[in-house]
Homo-oligomer: A and B are copies of this chain.
Amino acid sequence: MGVYIEGMTSTQTEHPGPHGYSEEKQAYLRRLKRAEGQVRGIARMVEEDKYCIDILTQMAAVNKALHAVSIGLLEDHIAHCVVNAAHESQESGNPEIVSEKVSEATAAISRLLRS
């Protein structure tokens, strides 16, 4: 996984520039497409009165697939947005730029752990 050393144009929550996950975008879209199909498959199993345990097995599979995407996005986010904020903090002498990004990322991790 490559890491940008150059600063991003912005660290605001709403920013126009490329995100950390840009390079991996197509891979994420393929995996999300597959997860969407898995959820549709689960609905079909319910529709066709399949055995509950078999449905739950598929449910665990889609959870795993979505978690893998989340972990990937998180890695890209830390490698790009957090790292760039670290550089901006150093250049500007303002540690809050990076500490905000770190808190935000940690809050996202915490939400994933409880979801």
Contacts and interface: CB of A to CB of B under 8 A. Distances in A.
A96 to B, nearest CB: 8
A35 B39 contact: yes
Given A29-B47, A60-B108, A67-B113, 15 more contacts: A1-B102, A5-B90, A22-B49, A25-B49, A32-B46, A39-B39, A55-B73, A57-B108, A60-B115, A62-B66, A71-B113, A78-B82, A82-B82, A87-B90, A109-B109
Interface residues of A, number: 78
Please report whether the interface of chain A is mostly helix, strand, loop or mixed according to DSSP.
Answer: helix
B70 A59 contact: yes
A5 to B, nearest CB: 6
